[in-house]
């Protein structure tokens, strides 16, 4: 019985030793796995951050595109600036109209016209007709 007890105790010690070795081994494996998980979580967080930044850029670009579309639509609905600067049609003698049209075509579009030019032309032509 003592020999059986000694054998059981020896086997028990061997099992304890194996359990301790297994515990150490699996603790190392778990530590490595935890470190890998930590690295992967960090990479995932960086990827999420990059995705958020990319989505923000896309949103900003979409806003810019909408603003440009709105500007284009506004420009298309307005006559060109040169047309806006043309004086409105005025009922004048035919010669005054021809002179004014000639001047409008000859001078740069941003030329400032004095308000008195048309009455002055009318007076001049009427004086010539008399």
Task: Measure CA 14 to chain center.
Answer: 69
- Residue by residue, pLDDT tens for the chain (130 residues) are 888 888 989 999 999 999 899 999 999 999 999 999 999 999 999 999 999 999 999 999 999 999 999 988 888 787 666 555 555 554 556 666 677 777 777 777 777 766 777 677 777 777 766 5
pLDDT at 94: 66
pLDDT value at residue 92: 53
Position 84 scores a pLDDT of 54
- Distance from C-alpha of 102 to C-alpha of 62, rounded to nearest angstrom: 47
How far, in Å, CA of 85 to CA of 110, rounded?
A: 7
Residue 37 CA to residue 43 CA, distance in Å, equals 10
**What are the angstrom distances between the C-alpha of 62 and each of 50, 70, 110?**
18, 12, 36
Can you tell me the distance from the alpha carbon of 67 to that of 59, in angstroms, rounded to the nearest whole number? 12
């Amino acid at each position: 019985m003592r020999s059986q007890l000694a054998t059981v105790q020896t086997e028990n010690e061997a099992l304890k030793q194996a359990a301790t070795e297994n515990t150490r081994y699996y603790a190392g494996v778990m530590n490595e796995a935890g470190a890998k998980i930590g690295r992967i979580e960090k990479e995932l967080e960086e990827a999420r951050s990059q995705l958020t930044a990319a989505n923000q850029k896309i949103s900003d670009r979409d806003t810019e595109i909408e603003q440009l579309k709105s500007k284009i639509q506004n420009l298309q609905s307005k006559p060109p600036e040169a047309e806006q600067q043309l004086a409105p049609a005025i009922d004048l003698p035919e010669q005054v109209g021809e002179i004014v049209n000639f001047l409008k075509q000859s001078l740069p579009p941003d030329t400032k016209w004095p308000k008195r030019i048309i009455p002055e032309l009318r007076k001049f032509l009427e004086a010539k007709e008399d």
